[in-house]
Amino acid sequence: EPFTTFFLNANENKFDHPERSFSGIGRSWRNCQRDTADVKELIPEFYYLPEMFVNSNEYELGVRDDGVPVCDVELPVWSKKPEDFVRINRMALESEFVSCQLHQWIDLIFGYKQRGPEAVRGLNVFNFLSYEGAVTLDNLDAAQREVGSLATASVFFLHARRQRSH
């Protein structure tokens, strides 16, 4: 909680199909690598909230096509428990290596590699409908607006410079 209640309220009190549920780190990684429509965001909770990987309320989340029930998130073999996974991910995120590469991520998300040839070279290209301005809602008639709409969500990320002692 509160994530489960928010999700259920937004989805007619139903969980998603078990195959689409976030049930394992490895599964999600593989799916994102082979299916360009399967886009995931590493939300901040990945780096500080081990409880998000545990179905502590024992909700019935269904059974995947391979017969495995969806329950706790399956973690990589190198993490024995969710606390290990979060700790190691946070150490990686806060590492000097990531800090030295952060400008490249900023270029992909906010900078010159968002669109055009640089986006193609950076493997940062998505379905054209996912880009702001791809659909002009004013040009849709009433029937088209009833069928569906395109919503744009902007996420602003403030990255505070780490204080380093010298």
pLDDT of 60-94, one tens digit each?
A: 999 999 999 999 999 999 999 999 999 999 999 99
SS3 category, 13: coil
Distance CA 149, CA 37 (A): 18
Amino acid in position 60: E
Q: What is the pLDDT of residues 17-44, one digit of tens each?
A: 888 888 899 999 888 888 877 778 888 8
Query: 3-state class of 81 per DSSP?
Result: coil
